[in-house]
Amino acid sequence: MDFEQQLTQWRHWFHRVPETGFEEHGTSVFAAGVLEGLGLEVTRGIGGTGFVANLVCGDGPGVIGLRAEMDALNIHEQAPERAHASVHAGKSHACGHDGHMSMVLGAAKLLCERRDFDGTVRFIFQPAEEHGKGAKAMIADKLFERFPVDEIYGVHNIPGLRAGTISTRAGGIMASEDNFVIRVNGRGGHAARPHMTIDPIVIAAEIVLALQTVVSRSVEPGVPAVVSCTELFTDGIRNAISGEVVIKGDTRSYTPEVQRLLEQRMRSVCEGICAAHGAQCTFEYTHEFVPTVNTPSCVATAIAAATAIVGADNVDSNVAPMMISEDFGAFLEVVPGNFAFIGNGAGGEAGATPLHNARYDFNDAILSTGARYFAEIVRLKLPVENVQRTV
């Protein structure tokens, strides 16, 4: 079996048996087994189902971490024609973590076969990325005290970018994510007698509209920020005005200052509107993901590695920041590193279906690109003198 076929076989195995956050038991066993089969030392049970595999070559002091995330989403895959479709109802790899794991396994295979580096590589397989809990769990379990790294690298496929291109930037590349829950408590009653109620639906509608002005009128133009109301629940029925409405959603931004501003303005807006109508307001605001902020020196390494693998014309060294969030940001608060995007497909290309879509599928054509990119980072950071390199 050639290299590309092996990567595809691994990826399809992961795709068929998706497991969600902190439940990646079979996924973890399979990936760790592949690495043990390559001769690596594996330590399991870090932050739950996470693990670290170590590959040492030579006696160089440098240590590089390569990270893959293992969890899937609670989305039912709608692609019965796929031979590798999910066999777990209600769960699927709709974000491409199956491909990311296969890329890192591929890098391990290349590095084991070529041994063209001098130092230590740690392959870090992380649980529970989707809800922003896994990286923190591994860090709390003393990941970097037990397995120190000089730098850490990760990637994410991006539909909408041309397949096989690689993009990154210095500084913030992905946003923080904060979640909010707004409870509006009014007074319910008969739908035919609204004058005897304090209608929380009308109040909630006013709040949703007012929140759209928080970014446009409170955040400096040019500073990235998003406020999105995504869910609304009531305890009413067809002929009864509800007594409570719950609004849920999230915000995205890049700095603690903007996070604080959003929280303060949103709280004031919600409490003020409720007070004006004689209703009660409960406002909850939680921090889920920190921004992903790349280290400039590591960005230079990532660009050099990407250029060696896909050519300068296929590398964007200053990609526009995206408002999506990634658990990798928690690692970058502790150690230097870089996160990059690999194009999954654009326009009519395979792989252009959006992330978190029930028909999304990782583009197998980019698996070897990612694997070779990771391996090239290791060779650049842990060089061996007078070694003929093959990319």
- pLDDT by residue for the chain (391 residues), tens only, comes to 899 999 999 999 999 999 999 999 999 999 999 999 999 999 999 999 999 999 999 999 999 999 999 999 999 999 999 999 999 999 999 999 999 999 999 999 999 999 999 999 999 999 999 999 999 999 999 999 999 999 999 999 999 999 999 999 999 999 999 999 999 999 999 999 999 999 999 999 999 999 999 999 999 999 999 999 999 999 999 999 999 999 999 999 999 999 999 999 999 999 999 999 999 999 999 999 999 999 999 999 999 999 999 999 999 999 999 999 999 999 999 999 999 999 999 998 889 999 999 999 999 999 999 999 999 999 999 999 755 555 5
Residues in the chain, how many? 391
Q: What's the CATH code, domain 3-171+293-381?
A: 3.40.630.10
Burial label, 78 (beta-carbon count in 10 A; 0-12, 13-18, 19+): exposed
- What 8-state DSSP symbol labels residue 187? B
User: What is the pTM for the complete model shown?
Assistant: 0.93
CA 359 to chain centre: 19
Distance in angstroms (rounded) separating the CA atoms of residues 196 and 186: 11
CB 323 within 8 A of CB 252: yes
Quote the pLDDT of residue 152: 98
Quote the pLDDT of residue 386: 57
* Boundaries of every domain in the chain: 3-171+293-381, 176-289
Distance in angstroms (rounded) separating the CA atoms of residues 175 and 292: 6
Look at strands 151-159 and 240-241 and give their pairing. unpaired
Active site residue 364: no
For 248-287, b/e burial (b = at least 16 CB within 10 A) is bbbbbbbbeebbebbbebbbebbbebbeeeebebebebee
Catalytic residue among 129, 178, 199, 244: 129
Q: Does domain 176-289 have CATH number 3.40.50.300?
A: no
Q: Which of 231, 225, 200, 228 is CA-nearest to residue 212?
A: 228
CB 210 within 8 A of CB 269: yes
CB 220 within 8 A of CB 258: no
In angstroms, what is the C-alpha Rg of the chain? 23
- 350 dihedral zone (left: phi>0; alpha: psi -120 to 50; beta): beta
Q: Which tokens is 43 given?
A: 């330590």
Torsion of CA 63, 254, 169, 110, to 10 degrees: 40
Contacts of 301 (CB under 8 A, 6+ apart): 151, 338, 377, 380, 381
CB atoms within 10 A of CB 152: 24
Q: Which tokens is 148 given?
A: 């120190």
**Single-letter amino acid, residue 280:** Q
**Single-letter amino acid, residue 4:** E
**Single-letter amino acid, residue 160:** G
Q: Which of 129, 98, 91 is CA-nearest to residue 358?
A: 91
φ, ψ of residue 168 in degrees (nearest 5): -160, -175
Write out the binding residues for Mn(2+).
95, 97, 130, 156, 356
Distance in angstroms (rounded) separating the CA atoms of residues 235 and 237: 7
Catalytic residue among 19, 24, 69, 71: 71
Active site residue 257: no
Quote the pLDDT of residue 348: 86
Quote the pLDDT of residue 1: 83
Write out the binding residues.
95, 97, 130, 156, 356
Distance in angstroms (rounded) separating the CA atoms of residues 323 and 173: 8
Contacts of 313 (CB under 8 A, 6+ apart): none
